[in-house]
Structure 1
């Protein structure tokens, strides 16, 4: 079954959220004619041949899912997103803030599906900054409850779709039930490899660098390394994004028109291409993502050269 068909079953359901994939029956290729008549036997054989043809078509479709305006060899391996504008989206429509976040989850679901279909290897979402604790408690409680509910509802589906989940940030301050669920999600999906989904929760880019420095300093103190051994590679190995194959994003997207990084992946974004979208996050869909990726593929990445 093509990855897109699996994800359509997952993501077109009611709002939900991240081992081996379970088999999914395709109604188009499971037709069997229950008869022992010779003609029925021949029909079954024909259906079997159709099954093989449909499977081949599915495989070809999966390979050709990339929109024609995009080039596969120029696709970013790692995309990071600052999902901004949920509250403004709701307020502009006279709706409760909670509904803005609920609608934002649908945009998350859609983006994950597109990344899986288009060959993105790593997707990092900035879900909750360490600075977001300053927001009203009722809003923080809504976010925590929504994240826990969505993760719990979507965990089995993510595992089945081959999505691996990792959490970056200080999870020790999260509700205990959410911490336990995160541990379960990480363990359940750790063998998956189709798409690596990193969710930054209670994350600070500055603290990420600080904790890396503290770890390295302890190694120097213990005599395991010398000060002159410290280099950028060593620092990168101590950052929280070390959990993924491609720790540095090729592309960062921030929605809602804000032009700042907001303490997100500060080390990792050193040579990342930046795109600031005017769309509020709940409105960010396939057309907006195509615009961003088309812009990315037209750029020349010089890395200072």
Structure 2
């Protein structure tokens, strides 16, 4: 008997429960009341239970009916998801989307972009991983990631399809307690004897280019660098978007180097994917939104 249950019967049952009467359910579903009554009677017969108490003026859900309503909603939602999934496959839509970002990527743009993604592509699961640059490239090559976002020079990404979509502004930051904070018109030569705190998530070429002091410490993440800078141990080049609040609170200050080269303070943000694997519609949409957000946010 269970094989005779239809999705249409479940939809009628849900509508009758939500609208409070068979006639209201009929109006909602554009069916005559007799069709609603017939569908619910057949559903009750197939299930072997009474879903509604018809002894009152308006049918009321029985205790069993209340429990069955929860299950009916789940089943109908799953069937609708199945239809949408099939439609996505027919339209060459991805069944899922995985992106990887490096530690320098401005995370503050993600909430808005992801919120819009959820609305536009409600049936596509999105996975986001923060990885080092080497791992991002490996995952794209192995096709365990569709789209990567790396803050690095474009010429380091030759094996991939890549596009520069923005840049991260690096600022020279120190604690107000540091002696560099007391100086004005600082030149690169003033940094030679100061301890520089560097992050090794940059590619080796970038790391060497950004070393301006004779003495340096190397760590593997910007969170640690930020805390060391706040302690006054040394100075460092750090993405400005990571220390916006520190600058407001004056726990860090940015120093203006007179002869710092632009390529040292502006690191390109590059999107990359596998050359022989075209991006699907949701990945293309996400890429365009990321680019727009990166170029609209003044704190990056």
TM-score in terms of structure 2 length: 0.23
More strand by share: 2
Kindly name which structure, 1 or 2, has the bigger radius of gyration based on alpha carbons: 2
Instruction: Report which structure shows greater RCO (CA 8 Å, sep ≥6).
Output: 1
TM-score w.r.t. the length of structure 1 is 0.23
